Amino acid sequence: MTEKDYHLYGTKVLNLKTQEIGLLICIWKNKFADAEVDYATCVDKQGKRYNIELDSIRGFEDDFFKANS
C-alpha cells in the first residue's frame, strides 16, 4: 500500500494542465516499473477527484502574494 501524506490537505492549487483551481487532498508516490513519480490527489470545483503529477500543479496562493507585494 502506498503511504499518503495529508499534511497539505485543503491547500488551493492551480492545475497547470487545465488552468483550473482545485483543492489538494494528499500527496503520494506512484511506483512505475523503472521510477517513482510524485503524485497528488485533488478535487476540482465540481467535486470530482483526480490524480495528477505533482509537477503539474502549483500552490494558488503563490500568485496572489506575488501580485500584492
Number of domains observed in the structure of the chain: 1
In this predicted structure, what is the pLDDT of residue 46? 95
pTM of the model: 0.78
Give a yes or no: residue 28 inside a domain.
yes
Separation of alpha carbons 61 and 53, rounded Å:
19
Give a yes or no: residue 61 inside a domain.
yes
Give a yes or no: residue 25 inside a domain.
yes
Phi-psi region of 10 (alpha: psi -120 to 50; beta: other; left: phi over 0): left
Domain span at 54: 12-67
Tell me the average pLDDT of the chain.
Answer: 87
Average pLDDT of span 37-42: 95
Task: State the CATH number of the domain containing residue 38.
Answer: 2.40.10
Distance (Å) of CA 25 to CA 4, 49, 59: 10, 9, 13
Give a yes or no: residue 40 inside a domain.
yes
Cβ atoms of residues 25 and 4 within 8 Å: no
For the chain, percent of residues with pLDDT exceeding 70: 84
Give a yes or no: residue 24 inside a domain.
yes
Give a yes or no: residue 6 inside a domain.
no
